[in-house]
Amino acid sequence: MYRKILSVVLVSICVPPCFGGEPNNAIEWFKEQKNTKGILTNNEITDEGIISLTIEKSNLKPTNLNSIGIIPTDITGIDPGIWKYTDESDLFNSLRKLPDLKFQSAQTFLKRILISETQPPISSGELNQQGRLYLLAKLDKLIKIGALDEAETTILQIPKIDSDLFERWTRIAFLTGRITKLCKELRDNSGLSKDLSLRIICLMKLNDWDAAALTLATAYSLEMIAQNRADLLIHYLDPKLIPKNQLAVTINASDEIDHFLINSNAKIPSAASDQVRYQYMIYKSNSSLENTINAAEKLVIKKSINASSLFDIYRNNYIDGSIGFWQRMIAVKNLDMTLKRNNHKAVSIALNKAIEEMHSANLLFLFAGEYADILSKFFFTINPSQFNDNLALVFALNGELPSNWKSYEPKNDLISMAISILRNDSLNASDVGDVIKLVNPNFNLPKMSKNRINYKPLKGKNESNDKGIIVLEALRKSAHGVNAPPEQLYLSFLLFLEANEHQLVKSILIEYLIYSSRVKS
């Protein structure tokens, strides 16, 4: 009953005076918006009543949107022709089906691909999607991993936004809370979206509260908006109309608008979601420290934010617990304190604890990048050997041995192999097999690969499948990280070698060895 009364109240508040041709309700308003593009001016009608149409030809060739990125490949290190021989339809499907990547090196590589200005793939035969399929798949992947700033920057480079791109921009905007520019675009091009919730929010954002309330009341009375969404929208327009304890604070698995409505009001408890893309607003907002750290850890693992941002949070906040992320915060603070004192024994204890905590949260790779430089000032000593191996572990994960550690030979077999791989300028299938065998003594080389010990890089389209698809297949086979079957990992590394991605193979092999060394220690 209260909703019926509320609808009447909203309508009575919002209905504007009926001047001239002004619409009297939301339906008429929508009709006017819809028909605006169909109105003919007097200049378009001749005296004989014949409509005169003038069509001007454009000299601009259609732009292939698949080449759009935000950083040149000479900076990201990605082969600019990685998709040169890939059909954009195949690329679209392969990228969308690619599972979450557990190896940090692989995730970094994928992120670099997604933001690079590469040559476009081969255009698809689907004319309505031609020249943009890869762009759409790339945006979807960036959104999924929470790289919302990069996704938005990519979209804003496109001269003319269509409905497919606008739909993705909408998702990004409601995940970041940056909706003003989006709403202005919708105001100027109303055909970009038919989502009534979006229209209501944008009317409110652009300071037209009356139109927003009128639209909501009419849409709700015609059952065009679900009940829970209507409650959230009413609260968004005026929190006094529906108390927060009457709001449903659950998020639909794919609905960013609910997320925005719930999290835009600090008085409403944040709705929990494990999906990474929902963590951005929590990380950026003045949420609780627990929520902020949990969000930051999820985002940094996906390379969606800089690792230093997470460590700054650890360092700049007070400790208020002893389990979970508090242990990681304690470990970082203790390590920083001992490093200032420059006491080898204290640093050794603190470093070992920090490595243990970071390993348990899948943050060890990022920890190495944060601390490798400052730890490089230490020289290896006779004792303690664990301190030396821990330092070597950090340097190996960071991908560079300091000059004063060039001759060090770790005592741990797995760390020693990681250092050996780091020093190796050329890798082949035999080296890969040795690594897999060291971690998994029962591993046997697949029969299909025994006669393919030395893989050669691709030389052209006709020699093998195209490089892009080979890379995506390699990423798929190694997606489960250290938990992937050894046979799949082995084949994945061979594919990377075939695609001439030797540096990536080195990084993943080292990560594989280091994580395995912690499991077996």
The per-residue pLDDT string of the chain (521 residues; one tens digit each, 9 = 90 and over) reads 345 435 544 544 444 433 334 444 443 433 344 343 333 333 333 333 333 333 333 333 446 899 999 999 999 999 999 999 999 999 999 999 999 999 999 999 999 999 999 999 998 776 667 789 999 999 999 999 999 999 999 999 998 999 999 999 999 999 999 999 999 999 999 999 999 999 999 999 999 999 999 999 999 899 999 888 898 899 889 888 877 767 766 555 558 898 888 877 655 445 556 788 888 888 887 678 998 999 999 999 999 999 999 999 999 999 999 899 999 999 999 999 999 988 888 999 999 999 999 999 999 999 999 999 999 998 877 666 789 999 999 999 999 999 999 999 999 999 999 999 999 988 999 999 999 999 999 998 876 544 444 444 444 443 445 899 999 999 999 999 999 999 999 999 999 999 999 999 999 999 999 999 987 65
Place of tokens 């739909």: 167
Decide: 83 and 468 in contact? Cβ < 8 Å.
yes
Amino acid symbol at 279 = Q
Place of tokens 């990992």: 489
**Alpha-carbon distances of 265 from 213, 260, 285, rounded to whole Å:** 18, 9, 11
Question: In the prediction, which pLDDT does 54 show?
Answer: 37
Distance from C-alpha of 84 to C-alpha of 262, rounded to nearest angstrom: 44
Please state the φ and ψ torsions of residue 466, each to the nearest 5 degrees: -70, 155
Place of tokens 């086979």: 477
**Alpha-carbon distances of 23 from 31, 405, 430, rounded to whole Å:** 9, 77, 76
> Domains of the chain: which residue ranges?
2-44, 71-263
Amino acid symbol at 270 = S
Place of tokens 């001439």: 500
Helix (H, G, I), strand (E, B) or coil at 122: strand
Query: How is the chain split among helix, strand and coil, in percent rounded to 5?
Result: 60, 0, 40
Question: In the prediction, which pLDDT does 367 show?
Answer: 97
**Alpha-carbon distances of 50 from 39, 43, 47, 166, 337, rounded to whole Å:** 15, 11, 7, 37, 84
- Residue 195 neighbours by CB under 8 Å, 6+ apart: 170, 257
Helix (H, G, I), strand (E, B) or coil at 433: helix
Residue 116: Cβ-neighbour burial (10 angstroms; 0-12, 13-18, 19+): buried
Query: How many CB atoms neighbour CB 149 within 10 A?
Result: 16
Helix (H, G, I), strand (E, B) or coil at 116: strand
Amino acid symbol at 335 = L
Question: In the prediction, which pLDDT does 445 show?
Answer: 81
Query: How many CB atoms neighbour CB 337 within 10 A?
Result: 12
CATH T-level topology, domain 71-263 = 1.25.40
Alpha-helical runs (H) found in 145-226: 148-155, 163-176, 180-188, 196-205, 209-221
